[in-house]
Amino acid sequence: MNILDKIVADKRNEVALKKELIPISQLESSVLFERDCVSLANKLSASNTGIIAEHKRRSPSKSVINQSLNVQDVAKGYEDAGVCGMSVLTDGKYFGGSLDDLLLARAAVQMPLLRKEFIIDPYQIIEAKAFGADVILLIAAILTRNEIKSLSEAAKNLGLDVLLEVHNEEELQKSIMPSLDMLGVNNRNLKTFEVSLDISKTLSEKIPHDFVKVSESGISAIEAIKDLQQFDYKGFLIGENFMKTGDPGASAKEFIGKLKD
């Protein structure tokens, strides 16, 4: 069993428990459930930098990235830096995140927020909306085509944007459907954790132009983004590069400033 299989098995247990504790009706009565979402896909399409900055305390591949910062300060810093949106990890066991992080970020900023989670059940999409997300992530590696279809359609019905993440051509081919807004290529192999930007380059020509292209993981250099922009990528998800510093917002601001030069 690889790390992804372990995470998904734990997630199924976690979601089953949450369903018993918090009924959907309670989530749907949240104040934020009525909020109009802000489209990350539209922000990326209109941007010439396309940075999606991440709040991430730790990960299975890097045990601790940054445990000392509070999420509101990180969110405000990112928004001031001019990022297009913010990714908030809500998995607790493996990434040290929570839905409260999403809630606190939402209270601090107006920009689009992506709930970065291992989504396997429609319940988690209702949670995302109730806690202030604008976008959900679906991971092709853990879902069937039918699951991608039903989950993405459920998200669109709630007004959420959908970012679908793939790692190879097989995952891409099973995933292309009208209920997606963005197709993300993860440069990190989730089984080995090795990173290569060649994955984004290879898959770029196979992604239809109807979707906003996003490159994820392992992006730390301005040159890498300028290179990927030649392959029609409009979004760039950056986490550890900003979070490993003492001031992620200032780090993002400096990065975006250089990118504009």
Closest by Cα among 208, 201, 205, 218 to 180:
208
Gap between the Cα atoms of 187 and 31, Å rounded = 37
Give the pair of three-digit tokens for residue 27.
């989530």
CB within 8 Å of 194: residues ≥ 6 apart: 188
Tokens of 90: 């809500």
Any idea which residues carry the catalytic annotation? 54, 56, 116, 165, 186, 216-217
Q: Reduce the DSSP state of residue 97 to 3 states and report it.
A: coil
Q: In this structure, are residues 222 and 259 in contact, taking their beta carbons and an 8 Å threshold?
A: yes
> Which amino acid, residue 102?
L
Q: Which of 162, 241, 243, 237 is nearest to 200 (CA)?
A: 237
Q: Using CA atoms, how far apart are residues 201 and 189, in angstroms rounded to an integer? A: 15
- Counting Cα atoms < 13 Å in the Cβ hemisphere of 171 gives 18
